[in-house]
Amino acid sequence: MLSQILLILLGFVLLIKGADWLVSGSTQLAKKYGVSDLIIGLTIVAFGTSAPELIVNTLASYQDHPEIVFGNVIGSNNFNLFIILGLVGVILPVSVQSGMVWKEIPLSFLATALLLFLANDWLLGGEPTLSNTDAFLLLLVFGAFLFYMFRQMKSESAQPETYSPGSSAKIWLLIGAGLTGLIAGGKLVVDHSVLLAESLGMSERVIGLTIVAAGTSLPELVTSVVAALKKNSDIAIGNIIGSNIFNLLLILSVSGLISPIPFQPDFNREIYLLLGGTLFLFLAMFMGKRKKLDRWEAAVLLLVYLVYTWWLVVEH
């Protein structure tokens, strides 16, 4: 069991470094073409920090571990919203741009509701499954989101920065090294998380919602906390909300296109938690200081997640 834990930790290290290199290279590439901080946070940084979830879920879907597929995405989104945004808000009250209040946060809520509807097969009343058709629908919504962000990029572009000769080679080297680390780390995490669950007598669902979800969310944690310490609210919250949208619409769609994924209705509880947290974030924009997540609101997010985690562990 110790060797499995050590290999999972090694996998997390590779995932974190891989995501760090990918984010660094991708952000430099975006800056080179003059893209604003909020757009970078919602797209490049969000995709880079969601890359561990993408790799882990792709491998889990291919190897037929549906509970890790759903547990990782839903658990990561809850970790992002309650723990990471909670910590960021305690460090620095988070100012939120009007566009995010009325567009990206509601989109994150609607994407979560769409997953709840599709995975439970409430329309046709069949066995709860994320089918290839469901996955394709999620991918179409993601495509619409990307189109919207592309339009935003064109309208909000900053002035391109000047780069020294040879910087492009360094950028692509960082991106390539990042992807390599992500793939190697993702395989270690999936393979040995399954073995650890078996050895501890725990379900893959609980392992996916806790250990795997927290591990794959570490890049979001580091990125957002560092951004908060540097007083860059746009990158901090853009990364969190953007990552949640990527996880729901891209990562689950890719997983579902690889193979239909049986859905356990037990996950509905975590989806309701995510819906409630996203709704609370939206309402927080109109409580206290408008368009700002105050410290007490961030503390509420942290407390709710700690109580939920305690209950989940005690229950099992």
Q: Where are the domains of the chain?
A: 2-315
In this model, does residue 277 exceed pLDDT 80?
A: yes
Structure confidence by residue, pLDDT tens digits, 79-111: 999 999 999 899 888 787 777 788 889 999 999
Q: How confident is the model at residue 164 (pLDDT cuts 50, 70, 90)?
A: very low
In this prediction, residue 270 carries a pLDDT of 95
Q: Record the tokens describing residue 62, joined without a space.
A: 């291919």
In this model, does residue 148 exceed pLDDT 50?
A: yes
Structure confidence by residue, pLDDT tens digits, 296-311: 999 999 999 999 988 8
Region 50-64: mean pLDDT is 84
DSSP calls for 236-296:
HHHHHHHHHHHIIIIIHHHHHHHS-EE--GGGHHHHHHHHHHHHHHHHHTTSSSTTEE-HH
- CB 221 within 8 Å of CB 90: no
Pairing between β-strand 129-130 and β-strand 261-262 as defined by DSSP bridges: antiparallel
Number of neighbours of residue 170 by Cβ within 10 angstroms: 14
Region 197-202: mean pLDDT is 77
The H or E element containing residue 313 is helix 295-315
Please give, one letter per residue, the 3-state secondary structure of 120-163. CCCCCCCCCEECHHHHHHHHHHHHHHHHHHHHHHHHHCCCCCCC
Q: CATH fold of 2-315, please?
A: A middle domain of Talin 1 (1.20.1420)
Q: How confident is the model at residue 75 (pLDDT cuts 50, 70, 90)?
A: very high
In this prediction, residue 224 carries a pLDDT of 79
- CB 86 within 8 Å of CB 296: no
Lowest mean pLDDT, pick from 54-58, 70-74, 160-164, 250-254: 160-164
Long-range contact set of residues 108-112: C-beta below 8 Å, sequence gap at least 24: 108/241, 108/244, 108/245, 108/248, 108/278, 109/275, 109/278, 109/279, 109/282, 111/138, 111/141, 111/244, 111/245, 111/248, 111/249, 112/77, 112/248, 112/271, 112/274, 112/275, 112/278
Please give the model's pTM, rounded to 2 decimal places: 0.82
